[in-house]
Amino acid sequence: MSSDKLNIRISSSRELSDEQKAKLESMLGEKLIRCRQETDPDSIGGMRMKVGDTVYDLTIRHFIDRFASKEKNRTDVDAALSVTEDIKKNIQSIDTDIDVYEIGHVVSVGDGICKVAGLADVMAGEMLEFEGNLRGMVMDLGEEVGVILLGDYHKLQEGDVARRTREIMSVPVGDALIGRVVDALGRPIDGKGPIHTTETRAIESPAPSVLHRKGVSVPLQTGIKAIDALVPIGRGQRELIIGDRQTGKTAIALDAIINQKGQNCICIYVAIGQKESTVVDVLDKLKEHGAMDYTIVVSAAAADPAPMLYIAPYSGVSMAEYFMYKGKDVLIVYDDLSKQAVTYREISLLLQRPPGREAYPGDIFYLHSRLLERAARLSDDMGGGSITALPIIETQAGDISAYIPTNVISITDGQIFLESDLFHAGTRPAINVGLSVSRVGGDAQMGAMKQVAGLLRMNLAQYRELAAFSQFGSDLDKATLATLNRGRHMSEVIKQGQFEPVSVPDQVVQIVAASEGFTDDVPIEKMQDFESRVVDYVKMNFPEYEAEVMTGKKLSKESMEKLRSLIKEFRDSYDA
């Protein structure tokens, strides 16, 4: 019968007397328990009882530790309070009831992963606490629980205690995060002090259902002519930015963020596996253009443990969801998900999950789909907010048919493909018009832009095709030469410097000028000057034009005729 008894271990600052032991056993039920008592001078006073994995703690040491933890995290100290009054105030606020918690013990640790024995009732995704304010997240359930460690784990050793929090992994959310730089756990890393937030949100949340969504119909302007005209993005869309290293992927994302100034759109930039110096450069650019007033930067640097890179995108989208469900529009950039995929592969192999294609675990598709599906435009009943996602994927030698690129392409609503050859030839942004597509953005495109962009795409496609063949022959007919000439001018129109956003009305003027042949005899080197001056001329002589474009509707027949005539007038008077 003794094997049916429950083992209970009791520790206190001094050994219990025989009378105390007898009394305790009679209280607990002598036939049901096997009680073992030990002395723990560090407990100072009080008693701790462990039943299986569960600990009932009423020691003075534990009370002091809880008080110290509260003091460490406290941010609302009244400077006028004396030290004594301050301590009294906080001691009174500490809950002195018995603290009940479950613990396990570290069996093995290494490379940002540990295995924990015990914790029979732990949940997947639950946050665990270790010594030294180290946190972990449960990834695998079994006899030994697989945990990813979110922080400096080098002091963690076998036998150390892991404590359940009964909370799913969460990050702080709220308006206080705007303008700040935080790590993957939402902790400030910009040296500007604590962030005063009262709400948290689980990093893993279900995506909005189809019933709670509505179609993409409101444009998100990037200020980049090649995108707004040829691959338009709508609020609530997921548009992939893909290309080789150093082809301008981050530049496009930053331009899109900077162009949201005054557009009532909150931006979140998630840096995954970037060098800290690169993140600092991004911050400097955002500050320089006033974009940090409406932007949150989440940084999981290359030097951080792999689990931090894994959860960073989920932390970012949780912060975005807070605003979306309050009816606001959010633009979130994941830079880049290739590094997150590699990190997840590393974590999964360390957790001994079976590898699949190209040594990635079988659920690598689910890794990104459950992230990107959280981008949506909510129905009016849900507040009408939106999250527009711009994930970035790095290709190797332009291979967009590789495993991870094809996975993410199949999840998103289109892609902007940046080509190395175009980039090195001086076309910036180096967007390949043939391989770039926006499957739903056309519904959100402004009427005036839709009116003129079709001709631009067709002419550029003809030019790229003819340009490839023309290099093999010298005798070309006049029609071919004319097409090549116009194509060169149109290619020049969609070139654009970084951090130089162009408004939609200005883009329409420049596209009409090039696509309808008004710039055919303008020297290529003069195109930039012509573009800026023709815009000024139209604004000066057609003041109501800009307001008509911004209504979102197509330009009337009369307005289009007037626009063409003004461009022609300017061209006739332009001194090339």
Placement of tokens 């080509």 in the chain: 419
Listed residue (312, 284, 314) closest to 298, CA to CA? 312
What is the distance between the terminal CA atoms of the chain, rounded to a whole angstrom?
Answer: 104
Placement of tokens 């009791």 in the chain: 10
What letter represents residue 228's amino acid?
D
- Contact call for residues 384 and 378 (beta carbons, < 8 A): yes
Cα separation, 24 vs 477, whole angstroms: 104
- Contact call for residues 377 and 216 (beta carbons, < 8 A): yes
Cα separation, 99 vs 122, whole angstroms: 18
- Contact call for residues 520 and 487 (beta carbons, < 8 A): no
Cα torsion 511, 515, 521, 522 to 10°: value is 10
Cα separation, 122 vs 124, whole angstroms: 7
Question: Can you name the residues that pair with 437 across neighbouring β-strands?
Answer: 415
What letter represents residue 511's amino acid?
I
Q: Which residues of the chain have pLDDT under 70?
A: 1-10, 12-17, 20-37, 39, 41-49, 51-53, 56-58, 60-99, 471-474, 576
pTM of the full predicted structure?
A: 0.87
Share of the chain above pLDDT 70, in %: 82
pLDDT of 433 reads 86
Cα separation, 497 vs 155, whole angstroms: 48
Nearest-10 crossing angle of helices 306-324, 337-350:
130
DSSP, collapsed to helix, strand or coil, labels residue 19 as helix
H/E element holding 226? helix 225-230
Cα–Cα distances (Å) from 210 to 206, 275, 328, 370, in that order, read 12, 38, 19, 15
- Contact call for residues 359 and 303 (beta carbons, < 8 A): no
Tell me the pLDDT tens digit for each residue of 260-305: 999 999 999 999 999 999 999 999 999 999 999 999 999 999 999 9
Active site residues per annotation: 439
pLDDT of 454 reads 84
Q: What is the mean pLDDT of the chain?
A: 87
Listed residue (505, 399, 389) closest to 441, CA to CA? 389
Cα separation, 180 vs 163, whole angstroms: 30
For residue 141 the two structure tokens come to 């359930």
Listed residue (218, 231, 253) closest to 453, CA to CA? 231
pLDDT of 77 reads 40
pLDDT of 75 reads 40
What letter represents residue 360's amino acid?
Y
Cα separation, 136 vs 149, whole angstroms: 4
Cα–Cα distances (Å) from 40 to 10, 48, 130, 173, 477, in that order, read 10, 9, 20, 41, 96
Placement of tokens 């007038």 in the chain: 569
- Contact call for residues 269 and 282 (beta carbons, < 8 A): yes
Cα separation, 450 vs 438, whole angstroms: 13
DSSP, collapsed to helix, strand or coil, labels residue 265 as strand
pLDDT of 120 reads 85
**Gyration radius (Cα) of the chain, Å:** 31
